[in-house]
Amino acid sequence: HHILCIVGARPNFMKIAPIMAAFAARGDQVKATLLHTGQHYDVAMNHQYFEALGIPSPDINLEIGSGSHAVQTAAVMQHFEPALDAAQASAVLVVGDVNSTLACALVATKKGIPVIHVEAGLRSYDRAMPEEINRILTDQISDILFTTEASALGNLTREGIDASRVRFVGNVMIDTLRLNLPRAIALPQILADQGRSDFRHDAGYAVLTLHRPSNVDDPAVLRSLLETVRQISERLPVVFPLHPRTRGMIEKFGLSELIDLPQILLLPPMGYLEMLGLMKNARLVLTDSGGIQEETTALGVPCVTLRNNTERPITVEQGTNTIAGQDPATILRLFDEVMNSGGKAGRVPEFWDGHAADRIAEQLCEWLDQRNAASGD
């Protein structure tokens, strides 16, 4: 079997790493080719992840870059088609919910090539979120849907997807987390690397990440969130790695002075091992990322999610996550709870055990074998 594996943006990389490794471990049974669409292209958003996670260099890079949703999605589709024709793959495997995920799934399915979606069935039920559209559409056209949590099956069957296509295998991102935890790079090392050993964090620190358009593209919302962060930083220092989109918006709206403070450490986008080290030792994490809600649950670190909903409800039901939204009073109240009582305790969900990618490789090979047998190959 020849599987063409797709990545495009930063949150895809830690998901594809264990899948590529699990395919490689199956020797001649399966050949995996890696295609990068180039949706993310900055060194900080890319190479540090490939290197740190030992992901093989992409066999193909479409070098798409940034653009509006329509331009970006269309560019991926247009450049992916000839690459797919040339690859002669038996299946295309996509992960997550970025524009590249949907674009490649759509091209493949129209050519009659089976689409495998890893991290299927997550739903925020918020269609203003571009990723929600990508999730719904990708799942509709996928042949095999690998899920990370039990809620996904109900979401998918409600949308008319047959349960026989759905396989609950667990969370590949947590495979990567468990494998790399011993190599995590902690704050003192990061401070030394960045020449910022002056940053004081004797009583601990919070980690903040922000990049969702709903939080950073509107000046009033971004101002209010940063003002809340400033208040938090008066009680607990804040480490804030800046996504390129967020850095751009802060500059554009002239909000830099709100966070240009000695107790807020502004950093460039961190590598995977650095993010892991930062989160692991944090007193709490404030974020609007999807993946970080899961990683903090796996690490047992309290997470305050700066969104009104989550597509990953298990992190709230079983994990350390709380949905705060954008309201300053709510965010500050949840922050107080963490400071006073250590925050929400949680447990690690089923199948977030470091072996999700093995289950995917095994089940996928079986499925492709059966398919070949049925077609007489």
> Least CB distance from residue 65 to ligand UD1, whole Å?
8
Residue closer to ligand UD1 (CB basis): 136 or 261: 136
Residue ranges in contact with ligand UD1 by CB under 6 A: 9-11, 39-42, 45, 66, 72, 98-99, 130-131, 211, 243-245, 248
User: Which is nearer to ligand UD1, 11 or 319 (by Cβ)?
Assistant: 11
Q: 34 φ, ψ to 5°?
A: -110, 125
Please, what is the angle between helix 172-180 and helix 290-299, to 10°?
Answer: 50
Residue 113: helix, strand or coil by DSSP? coil
The catalytic residue among 1, 36, 79, 211 is 211
Sheet holding 284-287, edge to edge: 264-267, 238-241, 206-209, 284-287, 303-305, 321-323
User: Helix H segments across the chain?
Assistant: 10-24, 47-53, 69-87, 99-110, 130-140, 151-158, 172-180, 187-194, 213-216, 219-233, 244-252, 256-259, 272-280, 290-299, 314-317, 328-341, 356-374
Q: How far is CA 86 from CA 33, 89, 112, 300, in A?
A: 12, 9, 15, 45
Instruction: Give least dist CB 298 to ligand UD1, A.
Output: 18
> 60 vs 361, which CB is nearer to ligand UD1?
60
- Smaller CB separation from ligand UD1, 98 or 122: 98
State the nearest-atom distance from the C-beta of 68 to ligand UD1, in Å: 8
Task: Examine the residue annotation and report whether 117 is marked as an active-site residue of this protein.
Answer: no
Q: Minimum distance between the CB of residue 211 and ligand UD1, rounded to whole angstroms? A: 5
* Catalytic (active-site) positions: 211
